[in-house]
Homo-oligomer: A and B are copies of this chain.
């Protein structure tokens, strides 16, 4: 079988206690000589403490569970990348849970993660229920971060993106360009963040005293095809501009517009939200609201690890800024 602590002990001629202590940096009390002997023996044998035996007593797994709705959406894969990069640097690994927005699957995964006693959770899901989070995590003092979902009432650390503000700025940009009939595509699900962008739109339209016709407001699944379907309808309505509350949706709009021969931005101004890498590669390049997705992932991981290391510290809120990135898909009316 593989090398155990016994082998190292035998080879060095000391007890396993000694080996364990020294290898875990708790061996100040041993002589310099013994310490050296143990270290070199361990190295020579290429000894690695058995992961499971170790965890059985320490209860630590150096693992973070990440639950997201759709890995295929570059929004989430960018986020995961940020998470993973930070965790890698800090010796943690991620157990990936792609819930496909399926509540049952989400619950199952959450239970699995608890069962496998991951050290912390990053959850970017709007469908997961508060009860679930309370029962499984809060109650048992498991560190977690909720992303892509703003809930002031949660007493955990929060990464907050001011989506209402972002939605406002996007809408205002179109208004400034002279647009009055502005359509919007938002999420049909209970996605809090995306919903807030829509709230920002409404607020802005109201502030400027503009009309919002019911047929200008589309609710769809957050995907390219969702955006495509919504845009097909919007292009029948009398809108001169569209605010797509995610870049994925915006991509669908490009397709719908090109199919019916509507030119962006000449005949239709389009603004997205997220600023995924692809945005600047569309033709014309997409005007959008930038949010630092990769950094958000990184920040989430960082905050979580900090919480794990310092369980007693008070929860902190991190505010993330968005900004308007003007490219070529919007134009004065």
Contacts and interface: CB of A to CB of B under 8 A. Distances in A.
Interface in A238-289: 251-252, 254-255, 258, 277-278, 280-281, 283-285
B93 A94 contact: no
A87 B233 CA distance: 38
Q: Which of A77, A81, A97: most chain B Cβ within 10 A?
A: A77
Contact of A277 (B51, B95, B97, B224): B224
Instruction: Please report whether the interface of chain A is mostly helix, strand, loop or mixed according to DSSP.
Output: helix
A53 interface: yes
Given A72-B74, A258-B283, A281-B251, A96 B98 contact: no
A43 B97 CA distance: 26
A319 B245 CA distance: 41
Given A51-B115, A51-B117, A281-B255, A98 B81 contact: yes
A71 B254 CA distance: 25
B72 A96 contact: no
A309 interface: no
A17 to B, nearest CB: 20
A105 B88 contact: yes
Contacts of A74: 72, 74, 77
Given A94-B96, A98-B81, A278-B278, A115 B251 contact: no
